[in-house]
Amino acid sequence: MGAPTGEQAVTLPVLVIGAGLAGTVAAARLQARGVPVRVLADRPGATLLHGGGWQLGPDALRESHPAAEAALDDALDFVRIGLESLALTEGLFDLPDVEGARRACELAPATHAVVDGFGKGHAVADLSPLGHPFAAMQGRGTVVTVEWPPYPDVFGRSFAAMAHRLEADPTEPARLIEALKRALKGTRHDALLLPPVLGISRTEALRRQVAAALGIPVGEALDALPSTPGFRLHAALTAWLNAARVPMQTARVASISLDPLGVQVGDLLVPARAIVLATGRYLTGGLTMHPAVREPLADLPLTPSVPTNPLWHARTDGPYDGRVFETGVGHDPGFRALGLDGRPVHPHVYAVGDLLGGGDTLTQASASGMCIASAWVAATTIADGFATGEKT
Ligand SMILES: Cc1cc2nc3c(=O)[nH]c(=O)nc-3n(C[C@H](O)[C@H](O)[C@H](O)COP(=O)(O)OP(=O)(O)OC[C@H]3O[C@@H](n4cnc5c(N)ncnc54)[C@H](O)[C@@H]3O)c2cc1C
């Protein structure tokens, strides 16, 4: 196949397209294995909307993507170290979100995971100036009114905005603690549930600080949109790539060339040793919908196939045929992208994360598991090829 050959190919980087959960794990793993890598991405995707409860879905993965399930534990070990600031905790959690719904997940930042241990005697903080009915919607615990935040002008009056503000202003945590102490004075609660406002990149430190000051465990609910945990995850992924010194470039890739192997950015064809597509789904343009559902960078075939115009299949209980969310790029056990003949479209082109087809990972509750395991396998496959001096 027409990639650059010989010494030139060996020195070329692997190009990872996308810097969400999947692209970051792939790039960090390649870098850790000593493989030259570069990330190209143009804007945050679904990862910025992540609600905080990581759904790994090992059973669903075993059914639909056994290669991912087999690598899940190794991928998890790697991710927990890379995202140390999130203090990711494993378990079988049933966690509340800000709207009082319960969400099952197998991994969560400590600030949410700790809530699983709360008994019946906990307080729920009503941050009344924000005007969000968070506390009223919880249905468990006793609501206590907290006169914080003091700002009427918080953009969007969202928890995410408050979390940014709390971290940006070094005097703010003390103000929050004082307000919480006033709210809890004279009450006997054994824990405190907050909405997700405890900062963006130092959440665990802030949570411990607040818990130590109050003398009871403190935890946060998962979020809806805009999502504080999504902002935290995005920040932690970016910090991981920076700490690992992975070169990153903001760029929109227009297409992929298989011969010679490379990606087209504007007028430039950037040559690659291998390409990892971590471009997500509809939100980011990893898949496009008009005039038909397709993968736009290499026109990779999608599986399961979808109707040319999904709107023809509109149902009364939802806007689109379910296959629109199940479809995506097919892969071999090493997560090489498959072509029409069911064989890898190129020995060095990979697909990972939300871009993959074969099931709706949101309804199968396996989205995060799929992202990290597929990325880990693809990067490992590439690195093993490097290590054995595989010819391009
Ligand atoms: C609202 C919402 C809530 C969710 N909540 C949860 C949850 O609570 N728990 C859970 O486990 N999962 C959740 N998920 C799923 C989870 O967020 C996704 O599975 C995951 O973030 C996908 O990561 P990704 O890296 O595959 O894609 P994305 O994060 O979408 O990243 C795609 C990347 O590709 C880049 N890109 C795309 N095309 C190009 C191009 N042509 N050129 C350059 N760059 C390009 C984008 O810039 C972006 O960086 C949620 C998803 C949504 C939408």
Specify the long-range contacts of residues 118-122, CB closer than 8 Å, at least 24 apart. Answer: 118/190, 118/191, 118/193, 118/217, 118/219, 119/190, 119/191, 121/188, 121/189, 121/190, 121/191, 122/189, 122/190, 122/191, 122/192, 122/193
CA 12 to chain centre: 28
- What digits encode the pLDDT tens for the residues 172-204? 999 999 999 999 999 999 999 999 999 999 999
Q: Are 278 and 22 in contact (CB under 8 A)?
A: yes
Going from the Cα of 48 to the center of ligand 1, the distance in angstroms, rounded, reads 7
What does the DSSP assignment read for 345-392?
A: SSTTEEE-GGGB-SS-TTTTT-HHHHHHHHHHHHHHHHHHHHHTT---
Average the pLDDT over 30-45 and give the result. Answer: 97
The DSSP letter of residue 106 is: E
The class (CATH top level) of 6-83+232-387 is alpha beta
57 in contact with ligand 1, CB cutoff 6 A: no
Q: What confidence tier does 388 reach under pLDDT thresholds 50, 70, 90?
A: confident
Half-sphere exposure (CA, 13 Å, Cβ side) for 58? 12
Q: Measured between alpha carbons, how far is 37 from 14 in angstroms, rounded to an integer?
A: 5
Going from the Cα of 270 to the center of ligand 1, the distance in angstroms, rounded, reads 24
Q: Measured between alpha carbons, how far is 162 from 200 in angstroms, rounded to an integer?
A: 10
Residue indicated by tokens 């297409």: 255
Average the pLDDT over 61-67 and give the result. Answer: 94
Least confident of 30-44, 94-108, 152-166, 281-295: 152-166
Residue indicated by tokens 């090493």: 334
Taking the domains of the chain in order of start, what are their residue ranges? 6-83+232-387, 119-216
Q: What confidence tier does 312 reach under pLDDT thresholds 50, 70, 90?
A: low
359 in contact with ligand 1, CB cutoff 6 A: no
Going from the Cα of 333 to the center of ligand 1, the distance in angstroms, rounded, reads 22
pLDDT reported for residue 2:
42
Residue indicated by tokens 């805009």: 226
Confidence (pTM): 0.94
Q: Are 42 and 250 in contact (CB under 8 A)?
A: yes
User: Which of 72, 368, 374, 376, when mutated, tests ligand 1's pocket best, judged by the most ligand atoms within 8 Å of its CB?
Assistant: 368
Residue owning the nearest CA to atom 6 of ligand 1: 50
